[in-house]
Amino acid sequence: MKKIMSMLLVILLLAGCASSAGNKSGSKSDAKKITIRTASMYGGTDPGSQNYQNIMNQFMADYPNVTIEDESAPIDEQWRASVINDFNSGNEPDVIYFVHHADGQALVDTGQVVSVETIREVYPDYAANIGDSAMNVLRKKDGQVYCVPMTGYWMGNFVNTELFEEYGLDLPTDWDKLVTAVETFKENGVTPFALALGHIPHFFIEHMFLSAGGVEALQERPNSEEEVPESWVKALEILKELYDMGAFPDDTNSTTEEAVKLLFNEGKAAMLVSGTWHPGSIPVEDPTGQLVTQDQVMVMPFPMHPDGKGTPGIVGGWNGGFYISKAAWEDPEKRDYVVKLVQAHTSSEAISNYTGKDTGGVSPDSSVPVPEVSDRPLVDRGFKFWAEYSANHADPACDHMMSDPKNILYQGLTKIVTGDLTPEELLKQVAEKKPFDY
């Protein structure tokens, strides 16, 4: 019995130690040591994440009494939900780089973040370098802005120019050329589009909206069955049309995003609808000859369907921004540091690193020049793409939807292409949930 008791004590002690290591440690009160908890979507090894880490490290070097505990994670639905949970439960980080659409509104609704206007009352230069047009996009229901963006993105159709050349095809600048390309590729065993419809249809569906109704379609906000726009119905019909043509991998309904990206990067798929985050995974040179290189890829807008009506354009927007928690703002010891931290991430210099040639992101700070990227052809083409088409861009429509209807839409897509569900039915299910009513 004694053995059991002592074993129990040891184990509980261990559990306590292990758990406190993962717990919020709060600010230590000895020698004005400050601990700032941060979180972000930069949880990977991409250049953006590396830049994020660099800025954090630099900050800690500049202010030796500050320790930053970072809990960044790759972005996905579960992470977003858990962030909101944390804010609701008093477990929130002090500074977080988070999205700004429906989930951003949910964050604001927790009442635990402080608005930029409030911060500017004390720090008038806060986020002064960020252009107004960017800030305006981020206004929430109460008219205030709560986060500071530092990088934006665009989405487009990446095409493997080598493959197009090999089969004597014109690049898909319009629908007919796209169809010809799809058919030719299909006949020759090349996957036309690298798409994992059952896993991440997020980017492709927005381009279906574009193709059916231009940027106007992206700005529709139906909140009931009657408000479902024709362009959205058309968009789903276009999706099925492409599926029936064989434009997607055979296992598009059950394969993963990673797997299809690999298809494209290995030259087995001709086109990939993605965004600024993709060029980072394409090497500039490849001695093994197995991978596609940057000079072999172009990015272009997705062509409009002949039945489509609307202004052609591209999908793009701001990734999100840095929020400061109310608790950190109201903590007199932390306030100055968290403000400085955000400014460290959103200064012109930081922005030029977040958006520069390494990440391909676009800048909300007009004083940061669009980089000339001579050594990375695809990234360079990306910036030119943005420069040429950004006049007509819109946020992804689905980003503004609440989780439940959004997921219903995404999951319904595999049923649309197999014909098990009609576009009208699916959109009805989605709109019934009042996706934009929040």
Partner 1 sequence: MIYRKKYLAVFFIAPAFLFLLVFVCYPFLMNIYNSFFEINVLGAPIGKWNHFENYRMLFKDPNMITSIKNTFLLMALVIIFQGGIALLLALLVDYIRRGAQLYRVIFFFPMVISAAALGLIFNLLYLYPDGPLNVIMTSLGFDPIIWKGEGNAFAAIAIPTIWSNVGFYFVIYVMGINNIPTDVMEAAQIDGAVGLKKTRYLTIPLLYNVLTTTFILMITGALRVFDMAWILLPNGQPGGSTYLTGTYMYQMTFINRNVDYGATIAVFIVILGILLSQLTNKIFKPKDY
Partner 2 sequence: MGIHESTIQKTRKPKFSVLQLLTHGILVLWAITNVFPFAWVVMNSFRTRQYILTESFRFPTNPTLENYFNAFIKIDIWRAYANSFVVSTSVAALTVLLAGLAAFGLTRYIFRGHSILISVVYGCLMISVYSTIIPVFSLLLKLNLINTLVGLILPVTAGSLAFAMVVLIAYMWGIPRDLEEAAFIDGCNVFQICFKIIFPLSRSAFATVAIFSFLWSYNDLFTQLFILRQKQTWTINRLLNEISSMYGTDYGLMAASITLVVIPVLIVYIFMQKHIIKGLTAGAIKG
**Residue 15 binding partner 2, by CB under 8 A:** yes
- Kindly state the tokens that stand for 15: 């559990």
- Nearest-approach distance from CB 258 to partner 2, in angstroms: 5
- Report what 369 binds from partner 1, partner 2, none; CB cut-off 5-8 Å by kind: none
Phi, psi of 167 (to 5 degrees): -100, 15
Position of tokens 């977080």?
96
Task: Candidates 82-90, 113-121, 127-135, 293-301: pick the segment binding partner 1 (CB under 8 A).
Answer: 82-90
Phi, psi of 171 (to 5 degrees): -65, 150
Helix or strand (DSSP H, E) at 67:
strand 66-70
- Report what 340 binds from partner 2, partner 1, none; CB cut-off 5-8 Å by kind: none
| CA neighbor of 436 nearest in space, from 105, 136, 78 | 105
Q: For partner 1, what does the binding mask look like between residues 117 and 156, x meaning CB under 8 A?
A: ----------------------------------------
3 state SS of 357? coil
- Report what 415 binds from partner 1, partner 2, none; CB cut-off 5-8 Å by kind: partner 1
CA angle 243, 247, 250 (to 5 degrees): 75
- Report what 414 binds from partner 1, partner 2, none; CB cut-off 5-8 Å by kind: partner 1
- Nearest-approach distance from CB 96 to partner 1, in angstroms: 16
- Report what 420 binds from partner 2, partner 1, none; CB cut-off 5-8 Å by kind: partner 1
For residues 194 and 244, give the distance between their C-alpha atoms in angstroms, rounded to a whole number: 15
Pairing mode, strands 113-114 and 297-300? unpaired
- Nearest-approach distance from CB 1 to partner 2, in angstroms: 4
294 versus 325: smaller Cβ distance to partner 1? 325
| CA neighbor of 215 nearest in space, from 166, 155, 168 | 155
Q: Indicate which single residue of 84, 210, 273, 339 sits in contact with partner 1 (rule: CB under 8 A).
A: 84
- Nearest-approach distance from CB 109 to partner 1, in angstroms: 9
For residues 11 and 8, give the distance between their C-alpha atoms in angstroms, rounded to a whole number: 5
Residues contacting 366, CB < 8 A, separation 6+ = 131
3 state SS of 314? strand
For residues 121 and 339, give the distance between their C-alpha atoms in angstroms, rounded to a whole number: 13
Residues contacting 312, CB < 8 A, separation 6+ = 210, 214, 215, 301, 304, 392
Q: Indicate which single residue of 122, 259, 284, 387 sits in contact with partner 2 (rule: CB under 8 A).
A: 259
Pairing mode, strands 321-325 and 297-300? unpaired
**Residue 26 binding partner 2, by CB under 8 A:** no
**Residue 437 binding partner 1, by CB under 8 A:** no
Task: Candidates 327-335, 342-350, 359-367, 412-420: pick the segment binding partner 1 (CB under 8 A).
Answer: 412-420
76 versus 424: smaller Cβ distance to partner 2? 76
200 versus 370: smaller Cβ distance to partner 2? 200
For residues 326 and 303, give the distance between their C-alpha atoms in angstroms, rounded to a whole number: 45
- Report what 71 binds from partner 2, partner 1, none; CB cut-off 5-8 Å by kind: partner 2
- Report what 36 binds from partner 2, partner 1, none; CB cut-off 5-8 Å by kind: none
For residues 219 and 338, give the distance between their C-alpha atoms in angstroms, rounded to a whole number: 35
- Nearest-approach distance from CB 438 to partner 1, in angstroms: 9
Task: Candidates 8-16, 293-301, 344-352, 366-374: pick the segment binding partner 2 (CB under 8 A).
Answer: 8-16
Position of tokens 């109310």?
326
- Kindly state the tokens that stand for 222: 């139906």
Interactions with partner 1, residue window 372-391 (CB under 8 A):
none
77 versus 336: smaller Cβ distance to partner 2? 77
CB 240 within 8 A of CB 161: no
Tell me the helix, strand and coil percentages in the chain, rounded to 5: 50, 15, 40
Q: Which amino acid is at 143?
A: G
Q: Indicate which single residue of 89, 173, 188, 367 sits in contact with partner 1 (rule: CB under 8 A).
A: 89
| CA neighbor of 322 nearest in space, from 155, 154, 142, 138 | 138
Task: Candidates 208-216, 220-228, 387-395, 405-413: pick the segment binding partner 1 (CB under 8 A).
Answer: 405-413
**Residue 253 binding partner 1, by CB under 8 A:** yes
Interactions with partner 2, residue window 84-113 (CB under 8 A):
85-86, 88-91
- Nearest-approach distance from CB 138 to partner 1, in angstroms: 21
Neighbours of 200 (CB within 10 A): 17
What are the residues binding partner 1 (CB under 8 A)? 77-78, 81, 84-85, 88-89, 106, 198-199, 250-251, 253-255, 402-404, 407-408, 411-415, 418, 420-421
What are the residues binding partner 2 (CB under 8 A)? 1, 4, 7-8, 11-12, 14-16, 18-24, 71, 73-74, 76, 82, 85-86, 88-91, 256, 258-259, 262
